[in-house]
Amino acid sequence: MIDNPTRPPPLSVSSPIPPARPLPPGHPMPLPSQPHDPHVPPSHQTPQTQATSEATARVPDTANAPDTLDPLWQLPFELAWEALQAGSRPVGAVVVDRAGQVVAVGRNRSQESVAPPGQLAGTNIAHAEINALAQLPARGDTDGHRLYTTLEPCLLCSSALIHSHVRHVVYAAPDPVWRGIERVPGVGGLIADRWARREGPVEGPLAVFGALLMQMWEVLHNGGGVGSGVEGDAGRTVRRCLAIDGLLDAPTVHRAYILVRPHL
C-alpha cells in the first residue's frame, strides 16, 4: 500500500517524442506517443534530433478507466516494455522535479551492448534507476525530486538514491527478492539520515502488471523453474499471458496492458 494517499501531480510533458532518448540535463522529457524505434542506435540519436517545443501540456486523467494505464505511470512502464522487447529486465524509471517535470529517464539495459551517453549497458548493474539517476548533475538542486520506478528498488539503487540526494521514491510493484530492505536505515548514521522515503507498491492491477513483466522475463529467459518465483498460480498466469497472440510484439505498453488486463 502507498504510504501517503495523496496523489502526486501528473508528470508534465512537452511535445511528444519517443522515450529513452538522451536529452541534456534539465530538459523536459515528454511522455511517448509512439514506440521507440529499436533500429536506431543510441549513438545516432542526437540532442538536435530530439528538440521539442517549449509548450507544455497535462495528460488527461484517465486513471479511473479500468483498462487504461494510469498516465502517471505511462512513461516508466513504456521504458520497462522497451527493455523487455530489447531482452533486458523490464524495469523503467523516471525522475521528476517538485513541479512534476521529467528531468531524467532510464531503463534496464543489462542484456544490451549499447546505451545512451552517460548510461550503462551490458553489465549487471545497468539498472533502470542507476541509468536515470546517473543523468542528474553533481551538486545539482534535487530538492523535491521524486523517482518513479516500475519495480521496488534494490540495495544498489537505494544506495544510488542516497548518493544522488533524491529523497523520495515511488514504486509500482514490490520485489520479493529485496523483502526487508526497509530495515536498512536501522543501521543509523548517514544512511538513516539520507535514506529515501519509499512509497509503494501502488494499489490495484498496476502493481500486478509490474510484477508480471518481471515474471514474463524470467520465463522467457530462464524458464521460470523452481525457485524463480514463477510457480503455481503465478506461473499459470504468466504462461496464459505469454500465449496471448501479439502480446510480445505490442508496439506500446498501453497495448500490452490492454491485452493482459483481463488476467490481472
Q: Which residues are tagged catalytic?
A: 129
The runs of H, that is alpha helices, within the chain are 74-86, 128-133, 155-164, 189-194, 205-222, 232-242, 253-260
CA 127 to chain centroid:
10
Question: Residue 169: left (phi > 0), alpha (psi -120 to 50), or beta?
Answer: beta
| DSSP single-letter state for residue 229 | S
How far apart, in Å, are the Cα atoms of 148 and each of 13, 188, 234, 240?
A: 15, 25, 25, 28
Distance between terminal CA atoms of the chain? Answer: 17
Q: Which helix (H) or strand (E) holds 104?
A: strand 102-107
CA 103 to chain centroid:
14
Rg, C-alpha atoms of the chain = 17
**How many CB atoms lie under 10 A from the CB of residue 263?**
15
Sheet holding 146-151, edge to edge: 102-107, 92-96, 146-151, 168-173, 197-199
Q: Which three cell numbers stand for residue 207?
A: 502493481
